[in-house]
C-alpha cells in the first residue's frame, strides 16, 4: 500500500517557505541571507570533504560513486557483465566506467557479451553519455517511463537495480521521508516486473519512521533485507540504503 503524505503536504510543498525569516528583515534580504549562508556552508563542506577530493583525483562524476562502492564492499553483489538499472543516475557516478572501481558496479567491463547496453539509466536531469549505458531523461514515477525501460531491456533479465533517487527536498523532514519511501516503493514495483530471481535491489531513503514497516514488505520479496549507511554518506544527512539481496521467485 502506498504511503500517503500528511495533509500538510500540499500547503508546505506549495509555499516553499521552510526557513523562518529573522523577524526584523524584509523577505528579500532574508532570502539573500539564507542563500548566502547556505552556499558558504556548502562551499566549505565541499572544500573539506575527502570524498570530493578523491572523486576529483580519480576524475569521477560524483562523490556518490564511493557510496555504492562501499555498499558493495560490504555486501558483494556487483559483478562484471551484469545487467543493471540505475534510477536517479545523473550525473552518472554510479553508471560510469572510467576504469574506476565503480566499473564493476554496472558491469560494462568485460562482460563477454556483445550486446551494446548493459546499463539502463534514468533521471529527470540530463546526463552526459557513457559507453554501454542507455540513458532516459524521464520521470521514473511515470508508468510510461517504466514501459520505456522494459521495452529497452528486450526481455533481458536484470541482475541489479540501484536507486539513488532523491526528490527535491521540501525542508520538512517528515514529508521528505515519505517522498523517498514512495520512490522506494516504485523501485520495488519495477523489481517485481524485471529483476531476475536472486537479483539485488539497492534503494536510497531518508530515515523517518516508516522504513521498518517497508522493510517488512521488502522481506516478502527478498531473502535478506539490510539497512546500511555508507561512510561516504554525510553524517548530517538522514539518508540510508535498503540493500535487498536474493530476490525470491514470484509465487
Ligand X SMILES: C[S@@+](CC[C@H](N)C(=O)[O-])C[C@H]1O[C@@H](n2cnc3c(N)ncnc32)[C@H](O)[C@@H]1O
Residues that bind ligand X (CB under 6 A): 61-62, 64-65, 88-94, 122-125, 139-141, 164-167
- For the beta carbon of residue 30, count every other beta carbon within 10 angstroms: 16
Q: CB-wise, 115 or 131, nearer to ligand X? A: 131
Shortest Å, Cβ 91 to ligand X: 5
Shortest Å, Cβ 141 to ligand X: 5
Shortest Å, Cβ 110 to ligand X: 22
Q: CB-wise, 51 or 222, nearer to ligand X? A: 51
Q: What are the backbone dihedrals phi and psi of residue 42, each rounded to the nearest 5 degrees, phi first?
A: -65, -45
Q: Which three cell numbers stand for residue 8?
A: 500538510
Shortest Å, Cβ 239 to ligand X: 9
- For the beta carbon of residue 165, count every other beta carbon within 10 angstroms: 23
Q: CB-wise, 61 or 247, nearer to ligand X? A: 61
Q: Which three cell numbers stand for residue 156?
A: 533481458
User: CB of 242 within 8 A of CB of 230?
Assistant: no
What's the rounded Cα separation, in Å, for the pair 19 and 12?
A: 11
Q: CB-wise, 164 or 211, nearer to ligand X? A: 164
Q: Which of 53, 204, 247, 248 is catalytic?
A: 204
**Which of 79, 70, 153 lies closest to 109, judged by CA?**
79
154 is catalytic: no
3-state secondary structure of 36: helix
Catalytic residues: 204
Amino acid at each position: 500500500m502506498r504511503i500517503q503524505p500528511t495533509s500538510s503536504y500540499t500547503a508546505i510543498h506549495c509555499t516553499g517557505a521552510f526557513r523562518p525569516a529573522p523577524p526584523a528583515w524584509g523577505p528579500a534580504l532574508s532570502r539573500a541571507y539564507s542563500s548566502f549562508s547556505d552556499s558558504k556552508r556548502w562551499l566549505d563542506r565541499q572544500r573539506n570533504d575527502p570524498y570530493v577530493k578523491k572523486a576529483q583525483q580519480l576524475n569521477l562524476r560524483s562523490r556518490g560513486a564511493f557510496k555504492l562502492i562501499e555498499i558493495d564492499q560490504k555486501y558483494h553483489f556487483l559483478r562484471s557483465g551484469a545487467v543493471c538499472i540505475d534510477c536517479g543516475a545523473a550525473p552518472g557516478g554510479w553508471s560510469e566506467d572510467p576504469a574506476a572501481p565503480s566499473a564493476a558496479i554496472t558491469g560494462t567491463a568485460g562482460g563477454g557479451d556483445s550486446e551494446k547496453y548493459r546499463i539502463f539509466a534514468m533521471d529527470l536531469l540530463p546526463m552526459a553519455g557513457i559507453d554501454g549505458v542507455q540513458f532516459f531523461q524521464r520521470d521514473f514515477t511515470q508508468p510510461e517511463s517504466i514501459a520505456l525501460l522494459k521495452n529497452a531491456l528486450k526481455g533481458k533479465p536484470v541482475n541489479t537495480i540501484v536507486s539513488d533517487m532523491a526528490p527535491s527536498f521540501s525542508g520538512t523532514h517528515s514529508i521528505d521521508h515519505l517522498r523517498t519511501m514512495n520512490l522506494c516503493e516504485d523501485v520495488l514495483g519495477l523489481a517485481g516486473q524485471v529483476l531476475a530471481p536472486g537479483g539485488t535491489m539497492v534503494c536510497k531513503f531518508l530515515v523517518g519512521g516508516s522504513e521498518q514497516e517497508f522493510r517488512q514488505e521488502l522481506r516478502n520479496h527478498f531473502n535478506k533485507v539490510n539497512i546500511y549507511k555508507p561512510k561516504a554518506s554525510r553524517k548530517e544527512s538522514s539518508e540510508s540504503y535498503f540493500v535487498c539481496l536474493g530476490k525470491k521467485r514470484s509465487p
